[in-house]
Structure 1
Amino acid sequence: MQKYVELIKKSYSEYWEYLKHEIIFPNHWDNYFYGLILISLLVWGLEILFPWRKQQSIFRKDFWLDTFYMFFNFFLLNLIVLIALSNVAEQLFNDFLGLFNLSTTSLKLFDVSVLPKWQGLFIFFVVADFIQWNTHRLLHRVPWLWNFHKVHHSVKEMGFAAHLRYHWMEPVVYKSLLYIPIAIIGGYNAQDVAIVHFFNIAVGHLNHANLGWNYGLLKYIFNNPKMHIWHHAKVLPKGVRFGVNYGLTLSIWDYIFKTNYIPHSGRDIELGFDGDESFPDDFISQELYPIKRK
């Protein structure tokens, strides 16, 4: 037990020092703090220059709430719980494997470091996105997970910052399901993860932005604003119970597994979910909603 207590203390200390360094010394290209700000400003600028819903305010409904969510979920949440939880979970998993004289190294099916860099990044990106597509489906299909995911679907006007409005439990679910499959593929480093992560953030921001883009033929590969707007539609298609267009970065999974749905321009459709009239509209109440929900 003492080992885990010390690990938790070390996790808090190291992440706090890391976060301070990110803010004070923005002198490296994979700086998450300023990278998030830069991507957000660029996509917001595109919204302002090329708005799809021209009547929508630049500072749309819940703009500042979503901006707070963006920084809370990307940085403060890691400081408060996720890094410590992740490190402890990893140690528990390693200790469990140790009971059988195994390690994460022995579980690796192959090492992408023997491949050209672009191939290794491509494998990591595709595997991770497919796992997250399936995780996203679970968030809609499992009732207690859906109560957490309602926070994201409480957005009533779409904009780039809505991308990172989600309950803190969501990354716990995503990272838990992503850990083991990624663990069996070795050869990645922090810069590899940063490249994929920044790309995913940029596409996620664009998907939620007030932009009427679908990328032409690339819409069958990459998720886009005209597709993702239907994922947030309050009224689901007839015969559909759990939702459509689950893609995060890639849309191809929806086309392969027939969960794609774009009947017409969704520019002015109502967003939300059934019963969202009674859903809380402040951060604390939204975070507590799944706990209070019977």
Structure 2
Amino acid sequence: MMNIYLAFVFCFFSGFISAQTPVFEGRVMHGKEAVPFATIGVKGKNIGTVANENGYFKLILPMDKLSKDNDTIIVSSIGFIEKKLSIDKIGRAVGKSQEVFLEKDEFLLEEVKIKPGKVKVKRFGNSRVARLTSHTIFPRSQQVDDALGRETGMVLKIDTNITLKDFNIYISGNQFKNVRFRLQFYDLSNDVPVLIPVRDDILFDSGPNSGWIKVDLKEHNISIRGKEKIGVTIQWLTSEKLDDNSRFLSISGFLKVFSLGGLYRPKSQALWQYSKWTLSLYLTADSFSM
């Protein structure tokens, strides 16, 4: 299979706000506590954002692209029941800071029972490093950044009985003091990504350096059973500039002409897109067999 190495660019542009542009703003809460890094987005559309670590958010609402009758804003976070808000109700309250309350989701993860058998430590994904690539994140420069929450990742073929040990990704260029990401996993059994529930948010920071970043997953006790392929993505939550010239963070990757191995969506509730891009990322896992 022929591999073509090219520049791969995801742009995260900051949004300008005119006086006529409605902005839905507020705070995501659970009781009296803030819900950090909750996602807020319009179902099926490229409109969304992410709350900050204190639960505060601002979302631009281009009303000319929205239907009061058919469109819904989804507010969600790991471990909570998602909340649906009508565009009509939100539109009437624009200009006032609003509190959005989420309730805990008391779901029970299936208890994993390891049966006697062979176990091997295996790697799933791509550990090669491409030199001509950039997955670019631009810093916030305006009052509202409407690009938060974009996700990118890969489709990985896996064994049917694995327990995750770590996640690894190669940062090829970094002009930031820090970028915070959320790691997420999706069931691709029917080709439409369905979020695989985990016990808590898996967050990691880039720091100011380049090279491989390793995220230890053992404490999260993530076991995946009966799946032949999954989606593994990172979601951009926030970034901190080193200086005014900070412009991008790039992730190594390459183009596979005959494969749709890339997974991407521009907002937390937008439609998923498959691409020919393969990023330098992989999982290490214990693989069990009888």
Tell me whether the two structures share a fold, i.e. TM-score over 0.5.
no
Structure with the higher fraction of residues in helix conformation: 1
Structure with the higher fraction of residues in strand conformation: 2
- TM-score, normalised relative to structure 1: 0.24
- TM-score, normalised relative to structure 2: 0.25
